[in-house]
Amino acid sequence: DSIANQIAAGEVVQRPASVVKELLENSVDAQAHHVQVIIRDAGKTLIQVIDDGLGMSETDARMCFERHATSKIRNSDDLFRIRTMGFRGEALASIAAVAQVELRSRRVGDELGTLLRIEGSEVKFQESIATLTGTNLLVKNLFFNVPARRNFLKANSVEMRHILDEFQRIALAHPEVSFSLYHNDVEIFNLYAGKLVRRIVDIFGKTYREQLAFCQEDTSYISVRGYIGKPEFARKTRGEQFFFVNERYIKHSYLHHAVISAFDGTIPEGSHPFYVLFIEIDPSHVDINIHPTKTEIKFDDERSVYAIIMAAVKKAVGVYNM
């Protein structure tokens, strides 16, 4: 079974950033208000996520490392109503298959919490302990038992870039949650809970404050809301374009094109405007049967989404031309 877990883990856990993403999503799903991320050696030796969310009972703590032991979906109807980030119940099982994991968790109202150590899917230690409410997960020595994978990891700067990408996406999607990130004891981010515009400025810098236009469009099919950067603020390099569908980060080249078209030649050929756009849509119009680590998504009426995004961005960009 531990071999089966290791193989399955390859799907979910490709690099330290995958662990960061899964743990952050779990903290958000657990309704945390504050989430702290502590990283060492670009996540190769330590990834720790501490939240003040709902926490787990002793049984939950044991169960959460079992494959498909999700608390978030009860029947196939739920699949179409999923609003939590996770629903497959394979992240923690996969992570525990390829790392040394230490979990501390306590629910509000429980006197004691649980400490659990698990290595390569094997539970090594469990006891009741006094601990803060919420969940504190340490993931040590990722791929300690899969040398081929460990050796395949890239330089720390590259792995750290991936971690920052995942961190930023989740932090943008949840400005109501405060997040901090430390790397080798250096504070990289300390983001206070607040409005989206504040979150954007806290992540990307003060210069962004004057560069953003609010964007909103509501139809019966989707609603779009977010911020668009001024045309002068467009860059040759990509990396600051964010679409979220029902709070999940997605990549969508067709919709990116809708934004570019809306700028209607006011940005130089081949440059990309800054944007953070949230699309809300009834989940039944979206194909969610996609691979857990993929960020692509399909709408049942892509052309309408394209048209609505373009109209929304056009209106927002129009503000700059007045």
Residues contributing to the site for ligand ADP (CB under 6 A): 22, 26-27, 30, 51, 53-56, 60, 64, 70-72, 86-93, 135
Q: Residue 88 touches which of ligand ADP, Mg ion, none (CB < 5 to 8 A by kind)?
A: ligand ADP
DSSP class of residue 78 equals: G
Q: What mask, x for binding Mg ion by CB under 5 A, covers residues 21 to 60?
A: -----x----------------------------------
| Least Å from the CB of residue 64 to Mg ion | 9
Q: Which residue is nearest to ligand ADP (CB)?
A: 86
Q: Residue 283 touches which of ligand ADP, Mg ion, none (CB < 5 to 8 A by kind)?
A: none
Residue number with CB closer to Mg ion (91 or 98): 91
- Whether 166 contacts 17, CB under 8 Å: yes
Beta strands in the chain, from DSSP E residues, in sequence order: 34-40, 46-51, 100-106, 113-119, 122-129, 134-140, 178-183, 186-191, 212-218, 222-229, 241-245, 248-250, 275-281, 286-287, 298-299
Q: Residue 170 touches which of ligand ADP, Mg ion, none (CB < 5 to 8 A by kind)?
A: none
Please provide the DSSP assignment of 157-224 as one string. Answer: HHHHHHHHHHHHHHHHH-TTSEEEEEETTEEEEEE-S--HHHHHHHHH-GGGGGGEEEEEEE-SSEEE
Candidates 43, 86, 134, 273: give the one binding Mg ion (CB under 5 A).
86
Please identify which residue in the block is written with the tokens 């469009």. 217
| Least Å from the CB of residue 88 to ligand ADP | 5
Candidates 17, 23, 35, 91: give the one binding Mg ion (CB under 5 A).
91
Rounded Cα gap, residues 223 and 309, in angstroms: 9
| Least Å from the CB of residue 51 to ligand ADP | 5
Report which of 118, 116, 115 is spatially closest to residue 100, judged by C-alpha positions: 118
Q: Of the ranges 91-99, 236-244, 289-297, 311-319, which one interacts with Mg ion (CB under 5 A)?
A: 91-99
> Do the bridges between strand 178-183 and strand 186-191 make them parallel or antiparallel, or are there none, so unpaired?
antiparallel
Residue number with CB closer to ligand ADP (292 or 304): 292
Q: Which residues are near Mg ion by CB under 5 A?
A: 26, 86, 91
